[in-house]
Amino acid sequence: MADVEPGSDLARLRDGWPEIVASVGPSTRAVITECRPMGVDGNIVTLGFPETKGFLKDVAERKRPELEQAFSRFLGRAVSVRSIATNLELPPSSSDDLVAEARRIFADDLADVGEVT
């Protein structure tokens, strides 16, 4: 993704993405985990969905009131949300790394195993 000016609304949204995702209901959360904030133009937040999952932008449109409320709370002002399908490759989330997720879950129960030869 393009460089983002530190301190900008877009940088704040990207940095606070996990908090925003956690602030919405489960069905909305399932939709927006597949997108990322792409831009903030005045009071319009643009969410980008991967082209391969473009159908989710239509679902996000139906969830727009909840999304606008979450983004408005996060940014401290009223905003509108627009969803687009774009050529977007999502960075892997921490839950995409199976080993990291297993370590998080089983941290105290992991055995120290040496290299297998």
pLDDT for 87: 81
Residue 4 pLDDT exceeds 90: no
Q: What is the mean pLDDT of the chain?
A: 81
pLDDT for 1: 46
Residues of the domain holding 38: 9-90
**Is 71 part of any domain?**
yes
DSSP 33-82: TT-EEEEEETTEEEEEEEGGGTHHHHHHHHTHHHHHHHHHHHHTS--EEE
**Is 34 part of any domain?**
yes
pLDDT for 103: 61
Our count of domains for the chain comes to 1
pLDDT for 94: 43
**Is 46 part of any domain?**
yes
The CATH code of the domain that includes 44 is 3.30.300.180
pLDDT for 86: 86
Share of the chain above pLDDT 70, in %: 69
**Is 28 part of any domain?**
yes
**Is 110 part of any domain?**
no
Residue 81 pLDDT exceeds 80: yes
Residue 108 pLDDT exceeds 80: no
**Is 101 part of any domain?**
no
pLDDT digits (tens, 9 = 90+) for 27-79: 999 899 889 999 999 999 999 998 888 888 999 999 999 999 999 999 999 99
